Every structure is written in C-alpha cells, then in structure tokens.
Structure 1
Amino acid sequence: MLRPLKLEELRMSDRFSRDNAIGKVLLNWWQGLADDRASRAVLRRAGNTTAVVLSAPYQHLFRRLSAAGWKEDGASPANDRLAAAIGLLVHVEQDGPLSPAKAMSHKASGEEQPAVSELRFMRLLESDSPDSLLTGLRRVLPLMEQRVDVIELVNDVLFWGDKVKKKWAYDYEWPART
C-alpha cells in the first residue's frame, strides 16, 4: 500500500513549481528530452521505479535536482515517488493547462466518451504503490490527447494519497448517466 508520507519525508516546500529552482530544473530537463532521444528511450523502457532509479538519465536529473534544493537523499519513499513521476514525464508530449484528471476526462472533438473511461479512472485511483501508479498512468497518458500540466502531474504523484485522489475525483468530469 502507498503509505502517506510523513512531514519530515516530504515537505510542502518540496513541491515543484514553475517559480522555484527544482521546478525550473525539472522543466528544463523535460523540455530537453525532445532533443535527448537516448535518455527518453531509456526511461520509456523502464517498467518500474527501480528501473527508473537505476538508469543514468534519472541519476543525472536527480543530481541536478539535489543541487537545486531537492532535500531527499538515498532510498527515501519520496525518491520512489519522484522516480515514478520522472518515468511518467517521458510519456507526456506537451505541457498544458489541464490537471491530470481534467485531461483524462476531456472529450476529443466529436467524441461522446472521455479519453479515459470512468472504470479505468476508478482503477487508477486505487493505485497503492509508486509502481502501480506508474503502470496505470503510463497506460492512460497516450489516451489523453490534451496537454497535461507537467508540474501538477509531478506534484500529484509525489503527494499521492487521499487528498490527491479526492482532488482528482472532483476534477474528473464524470460522464452524465442517461
């Protein structure tokens, strides 16, 4: 089960934003993936958080994030969540304004159903480990034609728990029952 992180393990000040140093490092790295096909390929093949952590591209990014102020060291639960987030970012093509749940529920033009079905969304909310969250989100990201807010995705994975699940449940635009 994905246990809630204790305050000392991950502080709210560790949240990524477009304005703080760690957020800027992360966004620059993610934008650079377009030109770094080798790193992107390595991380796309990583099937779980351990494979992500053991990859050179993740370790290079982790060192840059640490230099920018990421306070977690070694094998902390926060770093497993960071690895899951990094493993997901290689599957995001465009940064955009929509939260992950809003992007999942967005309907493509002319479509009646959301990009991610209600059932699949509910299964995703049941994710109880960084690996199951990584696997579930990797499967739905290609279905989402809309852009997703990269920073919000990372923060949601880092702070995954009841609070984020409830936020997603409210953000998802549930299909009307007929």
Structure 2
Amino acid sequence: MSEDAKREATRGQIILGWWSRNIGDRESGAARGLAARLRRAGPVAVLAEAAVHDLGRALGVKDAAALIRLVQVLAEVREHSGKPLAAALGGDPPAMSALRFQRLMRVAEGDLTDALRRSIVMADRRCNVADLGQDMLHWSEKTRSRWCFQYFGAATPDALKDSADAIDEEISQ
C-alpha cells in the first residue's frame, strides 16, 4: 500500500470514528442534538461547535470551508454502510435518476453541500461515511469521475484510485 493510500485510509478511519462518536448514535440525545445543529447552522455556528474543531485538528484541516462542508454533509448520514454514496444512488432501479446524477456531478462548489445533503436523503441516509468524508475533503475531477463509475456499477479504473494530485493532472490533459 502506498503512503498516500495509507494516509487516506487513516483519514477515513478518523472521519468514521468522529462520526460514530459524535453524531452516528442517533439514540443519544447529544448526538441527535449535534447533528441537528450542524444540519441547520450557518458557517459560523458550525465552527462554534467544539466537536468540529476536534475533527479538524485530527485531520489537520486548515480550510474552514472544507471542514464546514464535511461536517454538514456527514450530519445527514444516519447509518454507515459499506456502499459509497454514488453506488447507493445508482443501481437498478436507481435511487437518483441519471439526469439528476449528471446535474450533481456538475454542481458548483458553492452549491455542493446542499446538493449532497439532498442526495444522502435519496440514498435513505445510508452510505460509507469514511469514503464520503474523504471525498468531501478532496472534491475534484478525480472524485467526480470515480463517482460516475460507482453510480453506474462499473469497475473503477486503477488510475482513479491513485493519489488525487496525479489524477487531476492526468484528467486535465
């Protein structure tokens, strides 16, 4: 396993662990309350939550907008499963139409959080939390391309599984 892959696996475990401890157990009043505040809050109110800063420190995230997007999207997920969100949206029959999925892949970064939150609801609020979290931190052409393969249930090319920087350069050429 390459160093990049190890680092990403670790980040995924950090994200899943944070989600499980802080907002994953919806039987807990504290978890329900935090998830509700994160779903409804504006950017400053999200950053006013100590748990958000705990996640940011653990991941080494310095970009406030990326951290806000990450926790607001994760707050919509109610159940962790092995299936990535894009795969949960696809299938036969798909939970999200192909046309709507295409619009999701083209959405502007400023509208990404709301679009993904609506998508999570369509997937019965169930997906792979670790994968979703990593994708939120590295939303790029590579990520969107991988989601397309997952949505249609096709095997993801090895090139899309490698480091984000190398793939972004390859796709843009």
Cα distance in 2 between the residues matched to 1:57 and 1:30: 16
Query: Among 23, 26, 38, which residue is 1:30 paired with?
Result: 23
Gaps of 5+ in 1: 1-11, 108-112
Q: Distance in 1 between matches of 2:101 and 2:56?
A: 33
Identity fraction in percent = 23
Match of 1:43 in 2: 38
Quote the Cα distance in structure 2 between the aligned partners of 1:163 and 1:143.
Answer: 23
Equivalent position of 1:117 in the other structure: 97
Task: For 1:62, give the aligned amino acid.
Answer: V
Q: 1:70 aligns with which of 42, 59, 62?
A: 59
How far apart are the structure 2 equivalents of 1:89 and 1:22? Answer: 9
Unaligned runs of 5+ in 2: 1-5, 154-173
1:173 corresponds, among 134, 137, 152, to 152
Q: How does 1:122-137 map to 2 (within 5 A)?
A: 122-129=102-109, 131-137=110-116
1:43–1:57 Cα contact (<8 Å) kept:
no
Partner SS state of residue 118, structure 2: helix
Range moving further from structure 2, 23-32 or 92-101: 23-32
Query: Against the structure 1 CA distance between its residues 25 and 105, is the aligned structure 2 distance closer, same or farther, given a 3 Å change threshold?
Result: same
- Whichever residue aligns with residue 30 of structure 1, its letter is I
Mapped contact 2:52–2:71 kept (Cα < 8 A): no
User: In the alignment, what sits opposite 2:70?
Assistant: 85
Deviation at 1:59, TM superposition (A): 2.9
- Give me the whole-angstrom Cα distance separating, in 1, the residues matched to 2:134 and 2:75: 16
- Structure 1 or 2: larger helix share? 2
User: Structure 1 CA distance, aligned partners of 2:18 and 2:75?
Assistant: 15
Paired residue for 2:128?
Answer: 149
RMSD over aligned CA atoms reads 2.5
**What TM-score, normalized to structure 2?**
0.71
